Structures are given as structure tokens and as C-alpha cells.
Structure 1
Amino acid sequence: MSTEPETTEKAGPGTPDTPEAPGAGPAPTESRAQDGVKEAEGEDGGDGASEAGAETETETEDGGSAVVAEGESGPGGAGGGGGAGAQVSEATAELAAQRVERERIARRKAEKAGPIESGAKLSGTAADLLAAVRAVEGGAKPSATVFTEPAPAPRRPAPEPVHRPQPAPAPAVAPGAPAAEAVEAVRRVLAEGGAPEALAPQVAAALGEGADTALREDPWQLLRIGGVRPEQADGFARALLGTACGPDDERRGRAVTVWLLEQAALAGHTALELATLSTALGRQGVPDPDAAVQSTLAEAEALAFQDALEDTTGTAPRGAHEGDDEGEEEERPVRVLVGLERYALAEESLADGLARLVNSLSKESEEAWRAAADAARGGAAELARAVAGHGLVLHTGGEAARAEPAALLDAARAAGLRAFAVCHTADGRRRLAAPAGPRSSGDAAERGVGTVAGLLSGTEGPGRDADGALDLDLLIVLDAPQLDVESAAMLVESLPDEARLVLSGDPAVLWSAGPGRVFADLLAARACPQVASRVPDPGPIGELVSGIGIGELNQVDAPGKEIVVVPVRDAGEAVHRTVQLVADSVPRAIGVPADQTVVITPGHGGAAGTRTLNAALKERLNPGPGRFGGFDPGDRIAYTPAPGRTVPGVVVKADADGLHLSCTGTPVIVPRERVEGAVRHGWALTAHQAVGARWPAAVVVLPGDAAQTLSRPWVYTAFCRAERHLSVVQGVEQVLPQAVAQTLARPRTTRLQTLLRAQVPSAAG
């Protein structure tokens, strides 16, 4: 590893990206997610999911969408972002398409003869549930009638699919914006309470018909708008209710409970333990957290679950063995969880769909699968044999290991099987479609390769059969660690019975930006075969990241300057050296132009965050007045069409329709009102924004103020974005090897393993 010790002028140290002060408006989402961890888990920091949440678009109850732009103020703030526009955007269309898909899944599940075999889900009356929750808190045994799991009913046999190509469905049309009269009525209420009137379209879309009345009767409903914090909603409520407003108000307790669960979801949790939630409510000034949780459950704004804890002693409960006369079961330890319905049901739907694939393996295509296994070679042959005999297979490995699922895809299609592969990003799709070389050309559609978003929206893939399922025998999902529970549930539920599913990915990278840790939970559950690739990533960069994956930051020989370490004293010097590397050193010494180099830094804020770095890089590489929301033609951007998805692109032009982008060759128009919330400059990204894509060169910036945010998954993810050259602008000194050796991913509270143990025998063992 070579070192460039060049130093420049000294600047003051940077500061971390912190939430805005109360009354100054909502914090940007990257800070909100970290706050959610602090408030939901009782400790500082985030787990990495927070950095992917910048300027997210959230789906509202009535199917609309609300965009929270960075810098948008909440109650008491000085400004506000734009609301939902009347013009249908790509993001709203995609969210609407996903909502239609969820409704189809719900109808399909309702047709089944029995309830979901999930176990531990809320049942009985709300009163019984609340009594059981209180009993568990007090150490007593819960009522057996509340948490008794219903006996599984026989599965409805799936009809024989009609194997014929189907045209891709037309893009879903998002519902129109709220009526002008409704927005104006909400605007008057917001003005009366001192909140930014610019929030009116979002509030009207979120609360639906009669939004002004609902907001006046319950001012804390303002917390349902992304970016609004409890102290801001409290100020709004005091202005409207006067002396009738108090911290013990039942409405406030419910709203803060839901808000905490939403912040936990931003941090990756699908649910929170009851004790953790109660502690977080206490820190938010709720005088009786237990009553607040009970009220929230009684109003069906959240769900509660009892999950049996895994038996670590290896002994079965008394009375559980066959032949016991009494059948009396020994009481097992449980944990009580509370979660939002959308994530809880998505996790249950995912477990149910995975169990269906595991237990409904078809024997009809054995000859074709044998032919596919015989045609594959090396690690791909091992993977093909596993897929031939199992409905669900997990495949792990680094970048070079992607060749194995690619070979499986080719072998399956050559054997006459309907196979398709999806990646997390368009860049991943391009690399999978061109396995002969990372920069060679390839026809993704002809080879049977697409993206997860494209497959779910119907714009990519084979279409659906007469039963509404994907017309496939095999689906291969690469970048599987990036699947959140909702996307994974929609994919699995879209597969026909007896189809095969391969989830492939690198378990060392950062987890999904959305809630859940699907791939990690499946690996830990051991509910299906796991095939580990033995193909190492080549070259000095591959050797470096392989060591990081096991907790070692090794010195690596890099004779061709594949890896360069640039020590810096402070954040100002880090910015200066980064610009110098991108604009001059890397193009001159390595031969990689600036437009093929990515800069990766831990956060958006701070003296060396993406905002500062992008401003400096724009000034050097594409200076201009920024006439349209700070953007000029030729600017590199990061476009967020939907929460958790970042698409790199370039600004083409701006006109009355909005900002025209070219994203991986696809033209995109972002309406004016969405530009601030959905588009960032993209020379510098966070690791979560960059995951799933690779560049010829990467410059990873580690300023001194980033020391507390580093972890092994973050460093691994950032370093392996580089194909040919990696520069590390290092200002954290010995914190970097310590983070690689000791700081693992922050745990997430999920239920998938527990649900799988109840449905898949191999997972229970």
C-alpha cells in the first residue's frame, strides 16, 4: 500500500451531522434515523441505515406520497419544502404499483383456507391482549387463550399456471393530489398553530378527507409527516389547544408511540421490544409509557406479538415429546414486541412465502434441472445441484462470486427453464449482463437480467401467469443483503408454487436501507441449503477487503498503486486532497477520468460530508450558477425515486417540466416540487447510497469527526466499491483498524427467524 503524505493548508475540524434544534424545523432524514436509534434503543449513533434515508418519500394512508426535503422546516421552523404535486412522478407511480401488488398479495392470502402459520401473532380481543402484555411485564404467565397459535389448515392447491408470455402491465397511475379546498383548509389550521403552511399538501394527503378537522382535534397527528419531531408537534398542539394541552394527553402518547416505531423502522427494526419502547417513551416525556402503548394497541395503530425465545440449552420443553400422556408443556421464555402493522405483516408474509417455496418443490422439471446442473462448471455446478433439489437456496460470496449465479442463469435458460435474475441497482444489472468484462456491453433483457424495482413494477421481467404470479421456474436475486422485508415479501409472494428462489449476496456489506435484515436472518436460521463461493476477489483491493471481512486491516502490496493512503490532519485538508485526487491525481496516475471516480464519505453533514464535498467538487469539475435548484447541465447527481433507492445520473437540462436527468442511460424528469427532496449532487455519496454499484476508482474519505460512525460493514462496503483503484483519505488514525476489528453491525430487532422456526422444520432444528 503506498502513501502520499502531501499536506496543505490547515482548516478547522469538521462537526458531525446533527439534528436541527427544536423549533428550527425537522431534521433531515439521515439524522432522523440516527435519532430513532437513540430514542428507540437508548444509545447513541445509528447502524448505517440512517445515511440512506436522506430526503425520503413516504407513502401515505390514502396511497399518495409525501416528500420531505432536506432543510424543510416543521412547526416553528423558518421555512418549508413543497408538498405533493399534481403531476405524477416516477416515485409516486412506483409506490402506487407496489401498493397494488400488496393488495393483490392480501387478496391471495385471504383465499387460503386457514390463517397464516406465523405463530405468536396478536389474536383475541384487544382487552385480552393488553392484559396478557401486562402479565408478561409483571412476570406472570400470559393467558393461554390469547397467544395460542391456531392449527395450520391445509394449503389451497395452486392452479396449473398458464405458461405464456404476458405483456408488462401499464404503469400504475398514482391518485391525484388533494383537492385545493382541502389543502387550503389544512393551511389555515397550520397557520393558526404556527406551523409552516408549506406542509399543507402533505398533511392533506396523509390524513385524507377531513384532514383539517382531524388535525384540529388531534394536533399530534402532525407527527405523521416525515421530518416533524415531537417537540415541534408539541408546540403546534399548545398553540391550538392552549391549557387543554398536556404531556399526559392520551393523543400525544399514541402519536409519540407510532413516531418512535417509525424511527425504529428507519434504523432497520421491524419491531421493538416492549421494554425498549417504554424506555424511549419515557425519554420523550410521556408520563405513563405503559398506558400509551396500551392505548396505541387498542386503537389498532400498532400490533403486539409474543415470540418464544430460542432454547439455547438444547433440551425440549417438558411434555413436547411424542408419547407424553399429559401433554403439559413447560413454560418457555418469551419476548413481547410491538411493531407497525405494515412491517409486521410483511415479515409474516415473507416467512409464509418462504415456507411455501421450501415445502412445495416440484418434481416435474427434474430432467431439465439435471441438464442445467450437468452444463454448469465449478462453483456454479454446486449451486445448480442445490437448486435442483430445493426450492430456496442461499449463495454467498464477493464480487467475483457473481459469476456463479450468472452461470446458473445461463445453464437454466439453456435447459428450457424460465429463469430470470434481478439486482439491486442498474449498475449491478449491467455487470451481471456482461460477465466477460465489467465494462463490456451486454443486453440485459435478452440475457434475462433486470432490477428488483423493475420486476416488481412490471417494467422488466417475464410478465405474470393467469394466477397473477411471475411466469418463472427460477428467480435469482443478487445483492440480497439489500432486500428489506417489504420488497422481499412482494418478491416471494409473486413467485408461483414450486418455483425455485436463489438469494445471492455478500453478507459482509451493509444491510438494507429499509427495515429488516432478511439475508442475515435466513443465513442464521439455516432453513435451506447454503452454498459459499470459494472464488476470491482478485488483486490488491480484493485481498484488502477479504481481510476486512474477517476483521483484519492488512498491509497489502500494491505495485501498480491500486491502493493509496493519503493521511490528513483535519477535515479541511481532507476536502482539499479529495478534490485534488478526483480532478488530477487519479486521472493522471491511474488513467481513470473524474466522471468514473466516486467519492464515499460516512455522512451527509459535517465539514467533510457529502454536502461539503459535492460543493467543492462541483466548483472544480462543473462550475455554474446552479440556476435550477442549485443544479446545472453536466452535474453528477444522486436521484432517489423511492425510499432506500439511489440512482446515479447526470443533469441534462431544466425547463418548465422540471429537471431532466440521464440515469444509467434512461431519461428521467423530476418535477420542480420534487427536486429539492429527491435529487442531490452525486460526486460524493454515502456508503449506503453507493452499495450495489462499482466504479473504476473510489476515493474513501475518513475525516477525524467520522471516527464514531465507522464499523466493519461500512469500511468493507466503501472499500469494495472500487474496481481498479482505491484512495483512502485518512484522518482517523488508529480508529480505522479498531473499527474493522471490533465494531460490527448494530443489531436489528426482527422476527423472521422466529417465524421461520414455526413453519420450516429445518429452521426449528
Structure 2
Amino acid sequence: MSNDRLAGGAADAGADAPEGRPADGPEPGKRSSAAEMLAAAVRAVESGERSAASFFTEPKRPAPARPARPVPQRTPAPGPGQRPAPDPTLTGDVRQVLAAGGAPEQLAGQVVEALGEQAATTLREDPWRLLAVPGVRPDQADGFARALLGAECTPGDERRAQALTGWLLERAALAGHTVLESSALLAELGRRSVPDPDEALHGAIAEGAVLVFREGPEGEEEQEAEGETAEDASVRLLLGLDRYAMAEESLADGLTRLAGTFEADQELDWEGAAATAPSPSAAELIRAVAASGLVTHSGGEAARAEPAALVAAARALGLRACAAAHTEDGRRRLVELGETEAVTLAGLLSDREGPGRDEDGAWALDLLAVLDAPQVDVETAALLVESLADGARLVLSGDPGVLWSAGPGRVFADVVAARICPAVVSRTPDPGPIGELVSGIGIGELQQVEAPGKEVVIVPVRDAGEAVHRTVQLVADSVPRAIGVPAEHTQVVTPGHGGAVGTRALNAALKERLNPGPGRFGGFDPGDRVAYVPAPGRMVQGTVVSADVEGLRLDCAGAAVVVPPGRVAEEVRHGWAVTAHQAVGARWPAVVVVLPGDAAQTLTRAWVYTAFSRAERHLSVVHGVDQALPRAVAEVPAKERSTRLASLLQAQAQGAAEG
């Protein structure tokens, strides 16, 4: 795609995507005119001069019955071969527009998918709408617009500003945010050469492309008592896309509905069930669920037995109960704990697994326990809660130390932080040297542990070449020989895909050693270990079986999967080495964590905790980051995310108490 820049210096001066919150911002102690304008709007709403509906989207009071509000309907990720091909007529028209703007004609299908049937007309009228296509950067959209518009193309074009605003918020969503502070968004617009970011943002808000929210002290009297006014920094002005705003508000309403419609089962012997629970923490969880429609449960791998015991106890009491894991491997581990009817969350939401639905469209369930809850994004959570009937019980269970969801939001952490329901913290520790090591990391301490059976091994390396060499040696020779875990049950985890020691480099070296071949099926050979990603945040491991005109054929834990040729590059990678974000829902008998020197600046406690805790029996750490590892564990907990769910839940709880 063309990388031409706009006349007048409209260059994409920043990174392709904000790493969380943009670093740039207004001068300390000063407010931009947009912030002043938004603050003035707040005062207008509070004084009655304008209605809240004309400018703000405010949290609603909890509704007593289902549905609490319209839930965002998201089409489940299509399975292999289910994605319809774009209409050739539509793509033909789009190809012509793309060619006229110097953009690759191969994008036509993605453009139609992003912009709909009028995609060609839309692009002619507003070339910057090309930013709606995943992977397109602002500088590329600028070049495309310049080729189509010529002298009419200017850096201050309001169409450009509006498209950039949406693109920035979508990029923020990829980093986990559901909203951004106004100062952060203004700074990012300025970095991308928008001449008047204040005016651009005001225009985007006026057009409805962006929603604005106010968070801070309520009421002028309270602010005056604290010596503050509505213009103080204590009032946060947050901006977001309606897609994620609707999901967060629907989720908040749904969780409040479950808590508000719950009625205790006086006739059921919950106390008897707790008395026979397999552990004190399982008994505590059972008692909490007996008294509340919404409960959170925190703990490590060993604590997974507690929600499994809860579901078994609920069934014994005659309730319709189900346990759902985020991944297929998580479901497998539940089955090993005796929960043979466990399902995956994706299977439950698509109605391929689970109890089915009643005449009202709700699941035929009295209790749902969702494990791996930190991996559930806000849109998935909204769909999940909307599918539960009034009076049903919901348990959100997970390990708070692991990396958060691939999609936007931090649902589990926000529900815990809101303190609107019982929060059970398991006292069941993960056993052995690996469990001891991971528990220390969880509280910010990287400690040496006794490992008489070589459960934990540190392998120092000096450079990238040595890191790759030692990793291959560990997987192919040392771990099978010394630990007894074969290469096919050993997983390599590394910080990223690129670089000299990323997944691409490590997978190439591991393939050469473990399954050499010419890559005759688009880079893959029969027997290759692969990571199949049918939807963001959901990885399934498999083995290549063969390929034909229908696509690449995989064996994924006994299930036959066919990935169409056009989706192989997007959804399939070699899988001997994966990132921690891909590995978060699974565990393996042996894990080799690779920490190359260039990863020092990217490590966080959550990343280290997640990578190290993937190992069941043996953990090898290929260590090339020196003191960056203990520093990350002690000082860098996790990358922050901007969300509204906790404040929405607290506001609704307060409204219910006052009502």
C-alpha cells in the first residue's frame, strides 16, 4: 500500500497503536479547550439547561427483570468453512476504487466486510474510512486519500479527524481499554498532525461517532466541601465507542439483575453440602453461593477443584448446574477433576454445548460457574449474562494473577473491585516447587525454591543465538532425557512473535529439529505442531494431518478441523513456541520459558506469572534478561486498562440502596 504522506505535513508521527494510554498530554495544570467544553457540558446537564440524553450516556438504575437493557448482539466467530465469500459484484467495484487510490486490490473482501454493501461509494466519498479495515495504518489511509482527492486532501479534513478518532479508540480496545481519557485522545490526535485536536474531537462527539462519560465526585456540595469544582482534575472525562459502552452498561445491568432477582433456597440443604465439601475453601464457596446470586472466586490451579465441587454439590441438591472453561484445555482439566459435563465458553454461547435454552431464550440453568474468568472480555461477558434467567446464580472464578482478556475490558478484576458481591479467596495453594515459585511471583517476590527433582531449572544465556540453541536442546533432548517428558508434551513460551528469539524464529528452529520438511502445504508439513486461533484470544493446539483443495486439515485433540486456504495465514501458526497471551488458558507437563535480552522492557509481573504457571511438572527458564526479571516481578504488576464497569456497578448498587 502507498505510504505517501499528505501535503501540509499530515504525517503519522506516532506509533501504529497506542500502548495503553498515550504518553503525550496537555501541559500539567492546564485543561484543553475540549476539556473545558466537555466540563461546561457537565455543568449544563447538572443545572438542567440540557438533557443528559443530548450529550452524555449515563448509567441506568438497575432493572428488576430480564432483559435489563438491549444487549449488543455479536455474531459468534464462524467455524471452518462458515465464513461467506463476499459478493463478486461488490468486490469488483471496491477493487476499482482501491486501484485508483494506489491500495492493494486484495483488500477488497476486507473492505466489503468492514463497510458493507455501499463500500465502494463510501470510500469514494470518504477515503479515510479505509482505516476501518484491520491492519491499515493512518499513513496508508492518508496516501490513499491523497491519490483520490488530490488538492482537496488536507490534514485538517474533518473526515480524516473523525476516522482517526475511531481508529485510535479501536486500537485502544486492542490494548484492552473500553474508554480513553479525553487528554489522552487529544494527545494522540495531535501526534498524528490533526491541526486542531480540540475541534476535531468536538466534531466527532457532535456526529455521534464518540460517546463521552463523566466520572468523579457527585454533587456540587460535596465538591465544595472538598475545595473542588467541576473543572478540577477529580472529574474524569472519558471517551469511547458505543460498541464497548453498550457492552459495559449491558453487563453492569445484567450483573445487577442477577444479584437483585436472587432468592435463597431455604428448603435446600446447602449447609449439609458445605459440611461434606472436599476443602475449607470449597465449603466457603458453597456457603457464599447459597446466599447470593453473584459470587467471585479467586485462586490458582489447585483451586479449580472448588468450583467443580460446587457444581457437583448443586446438582446433588437438584439444581441445574454447569461449569464452563475458557479453553478446551481448561475443560479437559475440569473433566480430570470429575466434572465430566464441563463445557467451553465458546461452545456454551454458540449452543453447541451445554443444557440448551428455555422458551425465553435463557439457558436452562440454575447455576453457572465460569472458570478462567480473567480471560473473558466485556462483550463476551455481556452476552453470557444476558443468557442467564432471573434468579440464576453466577460464579466468576479465576486466577487474578494471570494476563487479562485478549478483548477489551477487565471484567473479573472490575467485578472484584466493585465489591458488590461475596468474594471468596481460595486458601488452597498450588503444590510443589513450581507452585511455590508462582505464588511468590503473585505477591511480587521472585524467590529461589528447592527443586530436588529438577522441577525448576534456570538456564543462563548471553545472546539470542545461544537462547535459540539452548531452547531447542531443552525441548528435543534435555527435558525428555532428564525429566521424562517427551518433546510433544513440552511447550515453549516467549514474549512475542517477532525478533531473533520470537515465536517465528523458535518455531523455525524447532521444526528443523523435530519435524523437518519443505513446508509443502503453505509452509506446513504433516506432523507439524500448530497453534490454531479461530477467534481472538482463543488458541487450540493441533497437528497437521494433510491438505487438499478444501484447506489445511488438522487434528486438534482428536477433533478434525479444516482451515480453508484463504484463512490459513490468518489463523494458523507453527505451535512449538507460543506467546504467554496464547498460552494463558492451557497447561502442559513441561514448559520452557524463553526470556531474551530484548524482552527486558516488555516484561510485567502478570506476564511472568502467566508464563511460569503454565508448567505442571517441569519449568525451564532460558534466562537472558539479568535483573530485569526480578525488577518486573517486584515493580511492574500489569499494564493498566481504562474501563467503566466497576464504577457502573458501584453506581447501580448505590442507586438500589437509595431506592
Residue 247 of structure 1 pairs with residue 142 of structure 2? no
Identity score, percent:
64
Which of 43, 58, 64 in structure 2 is aligned with 1:155?
A: 64
Q: Distance in 1 between matches of 2:15 and 2:580?
A: 15
Decide whether the 8 Å contact of 1:420 with 1:474 is kept in 2.
Answer: yes
Equivalent position amino acid for 1:339 in 2: G
TM-score (norm 2): 0.89
- 1:453 pairs with 2:453: no
Structure 2 Cα separation of the partners of residues 274 and 601 of structure 1: 35
Match of 2:457 in 1: 564
Distance 1:607 1:350 in 2: 42
Task: Give the letter for the 2:538 counterpart.
Answer: R
Question: Of 399, 405, 408, which aligns to 2:301?
Answer: 399
In 1, Cα distance between the equivalents of 2:533 and 2:62?
42
| Aligned-pair CA distance for 1:135 | 3.0
2:99 paired residue number: 191
Aligned position for 1:66: none
Q: Which residue of 2 aligns with 1:381?
A: 283
Which residue in the other structure is 1:92 paired with? none
Cα RMSD (Å): 3.0
Residue 545 in structure 1 maps to residue 438 in structure 2: yes
* Distance across 2 between alignment mates of 1:158 and 1:43: 41
Deviations 1:727-753 (A, max 9, x none): 000011111111111111111100001
Aligned to 1:177, what secondary structure does the other structure show?
A: coil
Find 1:414's aligned residue among 297, 308, 316: 316
Q: 1:366 to 1:171 in 2, by over 3 A?
A: farther
Match of 1:642 in 2: 535
> Does 1:423 pair with 2:297?
no
Distance apart, 1:147 and its partner CA: 3.5
Aligned residue for 1:627?
520
Q: Which amino acid aligns with 1:41?
A: P
The equivalent of 2:210 in structure 1 is 302
Q: Could you tell me how far apart the structure 2 residues matched to 1:662 and 1:696 are?
A: 20
Tell me which residue corresponds to 2:22.
41
1:348-387 correspondence runs (5 A): 348-364=249-265, 366-367=267-268, 369-377=270-278, 378-387=280-289
Q: Residues 21 and 605 (structure 1 numbering): CA distance in 2 closer, same or farther, change over 3 Å?
A: farther
SS in 1 for 2:18: helix
| CA deviation profile, 1:285-344 (whole Å, cap 9, x unmatched) | 111112222222233222221223589xxx96789xxxxxxxxx9969422111111111
Distance in 2 (alpha carbons) for counterparts of 1:683 and 1:172? 22
Give the direction of change, closer, same or farther, for the CA distance of 1:39–1:728 in structure 2 (3 Å limit).
closer
407, 413, 421: which one aligns with 1:520:
413
Report the counterpart of residue 481 of structure 2 in structure 1: 588
CA–CA distance in structure 2, aligned partners of residues 188 and 157 of structure 1: 48
Would the aligned equivalents of 2:101 and 2:147 in 1 still touch at CA under 8 Å? Answer: yes
- Residues in 2 aligned to 1:680 and 1:703: alpha-carbon distance in whole angstroms: 21
Alpha carbons 2:214, 2:236 under 8 Å: kept: yes
Q: Which runs of 5+ in 1 are unaligned?
A: 1-19, 25-32, 45-130, 160-169, 320-328, 436-441
**TM-superposition CA deviations, 1:639-694 (whole Å, max 9, x none):** 11012211111111101100011122211110000000110000000000000100
8 Å contact 2:2–2:144 — kept in the other structure?
Answer: no
In structure 2, what is the Cα distance between the partners aligned to 1:715 and 1:760? 35
Counterpart in the other structure of 1:342: 243
**Cα deviations across residues 194-249 of structure 1 (Å, max 9, x unaligned)?**
11110011112221122112111111111000000000000111111111101001
Deviation of residue 158 (structure 1)?
8.3
The 8 Å contact of residues 757 and 764 in structure 1, kept in 2 or not, is answered as no
CA distance 1:763–1:343, change in 2 (3 Å)? same
Contact 1:549/1:712 (CA < 8 Å) preserved in 2?
yes
Alignment of 1:101-112 (within 5 A): none
**Aligned residues, how many?**
623
3-state secondary structure, aligned to 1:265: helix
Q: Secondary structure at the residue paired with 1:708?
A: coil
Q: CA deviation at 1:473?
A: 0.6
Q: 1:655 aligns with which of 548, 551, 572?
A: 548
- For 1:526-549, what per-residue CA distance to the aligned partner results, in whole angstroms no more than 9, with x for missing partners? 111111111111000011111111
Equivalent position of 1:236 in the other structure: 144
CA distance in 2, matches of 1:556, 1:508: 19
Q: Compute the displacement of 1:623 (Å).
A: 0.7
Give secondary structure in 1 for the equivalent of 2:471: helix
1:697-712 pair list within 5 angstroms: 697-712=590-605
The alpha carbon displacement at 1:157 in A equals 7.2
The one-letter code sitting in structure 2 at the alignment partner of 1:147 is A
Residue 175 of structure 1, CA deviation: 7.2
> How much has 1:383 moved relative to structure 2?
0.4
CA contact (8 A) 2:547 2:553 kept: yes
Q: 1:658 to 1:764 in 2, by over 3 A?
A: farther
Bigger mean CA deviation after superposition, 723-732 or 637-646: 637-646
The answer as to whether partners of 2:34 and 2:198 remain within 8 angstroms in 1 is no
C-alpha contact (below 8 Å) 2:34/2:201 kept by paired residues: no
Task: Decide whether the 8 Å contact of 2:62 with 2:253 is kept in 1.
Answer: no
Deviation per CA, 1:403-462, whole angstroms, max 9, x where unpaired?
A: 111111111111111000011110110001112xxxxxx6x6xx3211111110111110
Structure 2: state its 5+ residue gaps: 6-13, 26-32, 69-77
Does structure 1 retain, via aligned residues, the 8 Å contact 2:127–2:148? Answer: yes
Give the 3-state SS of the residue equivalent to 1:248 in structure 2. Answer: coil
1:468 is aligned to 361
Show CA shifts across 1:142-183 (max 9, x none). Answer: 432343869848634789xxxxxxxxxx99996733321111
Would the aligned equivalents of 1:639 and 1:648 in 2 still touch at CA under 8 Å? Answer: yes
Using a 3 Å threshold, how does the CA distance of structure 1 residues 468 and 606 change in structure 2: closer, same or farther? same
Change (3 A) 1:728 1:531: same
Superposition pairs for residues 654-673 of structure 1, below 5 Å?
654-673=547-566
1:202 paired to 2:107:
no
Task: Please give the secondary structure, in 2, of the residue aligned with 1:42.
Answer: coil
Q: Residue 132 of structure 1 contacts residue 146 of structure 1 at CA under 8 Å; is this kept in 2? A: no
What is the distance in 1 between the residues matched to 2:447 and 2:656?
36
Deviates more, 1:743-752 or 1:333-342: 333-342
- Conserved in 2, the CA contact under 8 Å of 1:526 and 1:763? no
Equivalent residues in 2 for 1:476-515, closer than 5 Å: 476-515=369-408
Secondary structure in structure 2 of the residue aligned to 1:462: coil
CA distance in 1, matches of 2:472, 2:62: 63
Match of 1:682 in 2: 575
Q: Distance in 2 between matches of 1:471 and 1:647?
A: 28
SS at match of 2:400: coil
- Greater relative CO, 1 or 2 (CA 8 Å, sep 6+): 1
Equivalent residue letter for 1:534: R
Distance 1:184-1:151 versus aligned 2 partners, 3 A rule: closer
Specify whether residues 302 and 365 from structure 1 end up closer, same or farther in structure 2 by C-alpha distance, changes over 3 A only: farther
Q: How far apart are 1:481 and its partner, in Å?
A: 0.6
8 A Cα contact 1:366 1:388, kept in partner: no
Matched residue of 2:43: which SS? coil
Do 1:135 and 1:141's aligned partners in 2 also have CA atoms closer than 8 Å? no
SS of 2:609 mapped into structure 1: helix
What displacement does 1:347 show?
A: 0.5
Q: Which residue of 2 aligns with 1:179?
A: 87
Cα pair 1:484 1:513 within 8 Å, conserved:
yes
1:364–1:546 distance in 2 versus 1, CA, 3 Å: closer
Supply the distance in 2 between the matched residues of 1:656 and 1:465 (Cα, whole angstroms): 41
Equivalent of 1:288, from 187, 196, 220?
A: 196
- Tell me the amino acid that sits aligned with residue 273 of structure 2: A
1:259 correspondence with 2:161: no
Aligned partner of residue 544 in structure 2, secondary structure: strand
